[in-house]
Structure 1
Amino acid sequence: MPTPNYTALIIEDEKNITDFMLKALKSNGYRVITADSGKSGLSLISSQCPDLVLLDLGLPDIDGNDIITSVREWTSCPIIVISARTNERDKVTALDLGADDYITKPFGTPELMARIRASLRHSNRMDSNSALYIRPYKCKGLYLDFEKRMIVLDGEEIHLTQVEYKIVAFLARNSGKVMTYSAIMSNVWGPYTSDNNRILRVNMANIRRKIEKNPSQPQFIFTEVGVGYRMREDENELC
């Protein structure tokens, strides 16, 4: 159960969607504030400093992507896009601009709350003053110790190449969130790497052979077709 101290801002102009998310968040202990336009949403982000933003892209006054760009100039506050846009390019664009996750309408409460937990966990893990910053990743027998750079599966150490480890560690630090191909490649090979993701796909195939019982039906790292990869959410609960 999350702490009631978390504040979520909903920026959404469809009242039924706002009411649905408002009810779900409040029932899980969150403080919630709402805005029905981009301008009022930006004002609330700067004045209220929410812990999380749930953002619709199709707002009446400002495109949601422009809000992401503006907010990312001064804060790393988690942003989860809530949108009816299902095109892969729309998802990639929002994520590459700095959104932490992307949920397509319609969606259910369990999915919404799982994505929120993942985004808040990532936000806390990236804070070097947080205990989560160095806490190992654990999920269904897979254990990743970031300090020792060690991966163990069902009690046996898994030997990955340096590149393979960097890919898995990056996904584990962002567990539960979809990471675009470009974000992964930039983190592993640097910001000036080629846009061709073939080398990433080759490494991912090798990783899956080492950590998945059935690489064609992965249980740890999932493919978001045309977008990137998502690692199963860390089993550690937020404190």
Structure 2
Amino acid sequence: MKQSKKILIIEDERDMARIISLYLDKQGYEAKTANTAVQGLLELASWQPHYIILDIGLPDLDGIEVCRRIREISDVPVLILSARGSSTDKVLGLGFGADDYMTKPFELAELAARIAAYFRRHDGQVSSRKGDADAINAGPLSMNRKQYTAAMGGNELMLSAKEFELLYHLASHSNQVFSKSRLLDAVWGLESHGDENTVTVYIRRLREKLEADPSNPAYLITVWGVGYKFSAGEG
């Protein structure tokens, strides 16, 4: 029997946390709640969830800071929930390592759909697409999707789940230019529920990890007016 995916809900509104937990349980997940940031971080370390739903307005620590701390120890996907719908908050959350962002109030069905879409991609249902393989080498970059590892010039890269998926998609189609909307569909799915600025944020984060000079990238290239491509470069 296939093991249920474990989802940790870090949410201080107990009624909301309980409702989300019950709904996800009915969807076949194993859900657990934490009502403070400290409790959530402890559950992350001990329970090792496959996915985290994180409220941005926690009583003991701001959710953005919690996301930053999660990224220091884990690449588990994080979806931020926020009553604050400004683009600044969204960019800030994504910039500190969140993989997705939803504004309250929201539909439980959409939340579950986003989680299911992530697991479909992560569990390899996308791997059958032509042009994709389990392992690639593109110039100095090597990536292995089965092991979820990446290295640049032999040096391991510490990537979040979405950073890995975005880089893998670009590198497995070297020199092919993708618009932001196509990258959203390919990596985030959800038929463009996302914001194209999300792609910009993730490209910037990847450049900081890949490039010797992020302001003058040699690998993750902007094709002005069109989108982005991965160039294998000269090594």
Q: What amino acid maps onto 2:201 in structure 1?
A: S
- Report the identity percentage: 29
Match of 1:46 in 2: 45
With normalisation by structure 2, the TM-score equals: 0.64
Flag structure 2 segments of 5+ consecutive residues without an equivalent: 137-172, 217-221, 229-235
Instruction: Give the secondary-structure state (helix, strand or coil) at the position aligned to 2:73.
Output: coil
Match of 1:172 in 2: 186
Instruction: Give the secondary-structure state (helix, strand or coil) at the position aligned to 2:66.
Output: helix
Give the CA deviation at 1:201.
Answer: 6.5
Task: List per-residue Cα deviations over 1:149-172 (Å, max 9, x = no partner).
Answer: 9xxxxxxxxxx9925148646861
* Matching of residues 1-239 of structure 1 within 5 Å: 5-122=4-121, 124=122, 131-132=124-125, 134-136=127-129, 145-147=131-133, 162-165=175-178, 168=182, 172-176=186-190, 178=194, 179-184=198-203, 187=206, 191=211, 192-193=214-215, 202-204=225-227
Flag structure 1 segments of 5+ consecutive residues without an equivalent: 125-129, 137-143, 150-159, 207-239
1:169–1:55 distance in 2 versus 1, CA, 3 Å: closer
Task: List per-residue Cα deviations over 1:156-191 (Å, max 9, x = no partner).
Answer: xxxx99251486468613433843313135558965
Q: Distance in 1 between matches of 2:179 and 2:86?
A: 29
Q: Distance in 2 between matches of 1:42 and 1:34?
A: 11
Task: List per-residue Cα deviations over 1:67-88 (Å, max 9, x = no partner).
Answer: 1111111211111101101110
Whether contact under 8 Å (2:52, 2:76) holds in the other structure is yes
Question: How many corresponding residue pairs?
Answer: 177
Q: Distance in 1 between matches of 2:124 and 2:19?
A: 33
Q: Distance in 2 between matches of 1:15 and 1:200?
A: 47
Q: Distance in 2 between matches of 1:163 and 1:187?
A: 18
Q: Distance in 1 between matches of 2:85 and 2:40?
A: 23
Give the CA deviation at 1:146.
Answer: 2.5
Q: Distance in 1 between matches of 2:177 and 2:207?
A: 9
Question: How large is the Cα RMSD of the aligned pairs?
Answer: 3.3
